[in-house]
Structure 1
Amino acid sequence: MKTAHLYVRVSTDEQAEKGYSQRDQEERLKRYCEANNIIIKNVLFEDFSAKTFIRPEWIKLIDGLKKRTSRTDLVLFTKWDRFSRNACDAYQMINVLRKLNVEPQAIEQPLDLAIPENKMMLAIYLAAPEVENDRRALNTFNGMRRAKKEGRLMGRAPYGYINKISEDGKKYIVRKEPEASNIIWAFEEMAKGIFSASQIMFMMNKRDGKSLKISAFLEGLRNVAYCGKIFVGDYNDEKAYHVKSIHEALINEELY
């Protein structure tokens, strides 16, 4: 009888977006092994992205296979995107497993890799999730760029502001006190040229009990968002530029 390791993988994002279930994958894999008289050696649960094979449980699996403490014939998973979402890395890992005399197999997308034509289907199974990843990343980038052009600051709100979400799901920032007054004070003190940046940071931290570090403080002083502007970086043929923000400016351009 053949022996197998069962590999169950799902990332946190996938569980939230698509409802993937580790328990469901495990049940399907165990039913497959029972129906095909395959001995289960171990079930590995991975909560990690498949963009690379730098995953804790997968690394442990490969290390164990290399030690050859006992025979293993198969590594089973439900679909090829559970194995990898990167075609180039997947082919390399398949070769690693073959050298160890271990066959990777997706029970819901079975392929006999000894048949040359099946490599075309394997390419499709592996490329499809990678394309999906790339499309999602591009859509996210384009969406964030569009938001910046509309004057919305994306990401974590800088000191002095707080993140908000409108009823239609759009993100924006609003003034937050007493932090906003503190950063205004810091800009005004810097403009006087009496104290150094580290001294002003120390005094500002005492004002509100925070422990802002000098690197973050200096980065904040260079943030154009405080004077009501949003930086839009260059992309393709479009050069970088600034747009007027929709959020309230804490200082004027002259002080900035």
Structure 2
Amino acid sequence: MELLAVRPGGLYVDATVGLGGHAGEILRRSAPDGRLVAFDKDPGAIAHARARLREFGDRVRFEHADFREIPERLGGEAPQGVLLDLGVSSMQLDEAARGFSFNAEGPLDMRMDPTEGFTAADLVNRLPERELADVIYRWGEEHASRRIARAIVETRRRRHFTTTTELAEVVRRSAGRSRRPGLDPATKTFQALRIHVNRELEGLGPALERMAGLLAPGGRLAVIAFHSLEDREVKQTLRAVATRGFRILTKKPLVPGDAETARNPRARSAKLRAIEREVA
């Protein structure tokens, strides 16, 4: 939050509001008259955040929209700060019915916006073996992708996949032991399917460039990534943007300390990068 340099007054954007934790902190720091526009493509997240942030009244506006739509939704206003927290939220992981987690049985869905698009079940039950292997390798960086895809296809000849635990069991049997101690063998495959279902990396670079272009002079864009594919795209894009009237605030990404990861183990892979628009 320090990197965003929130101060009283002005306009701020939380591009992925989730449960509203970051949004609440921005609103407190920008009091008494700072405003926030909170975006999320997950209608459940918008509902939770709206309830949590009720005390801030009309200082906060909610938009059920993907962060790629921010320029159109802001209507030409220049924010002092934009925060983009990528990846899946704790609420989505903890709610078995959303189908994001391999640790609890739920429908094989994985859509951040459950009102649109195809599900993870659609992918694993319909994609040809080679395409499925490519998805798992590209978005999960899973070296056993072909073996996993083959096992999925062989299994679906007998029965369709409908639940997260059914898929996780097949993946674990076929993936072999993880190279990283403590990493569930199903992790990378579930990540790959989630990214593909939600088009998480599609247009991320251009979207970051457009967000940076919206900033007021002295305004800041801060981005939190959770895996190497996201972080690589963020790093390359911010470096390119920094050659055009911006400066990088994080020569190396900021990562959580031991105390923070002890409080929130899911934050252990988070990397924060930020840029600032120069004042002419």
Q: Same fold (TM over 0.5)?
A: no
Structure-2-length-normalised TM-score = 0.26
Structure with max Cα Rg: 1
The answer to which structure, 1 or 2, has the higher relative contact order (CA under 8 A, 6+ apart) is 2
TM-score (norm 1): 0.28
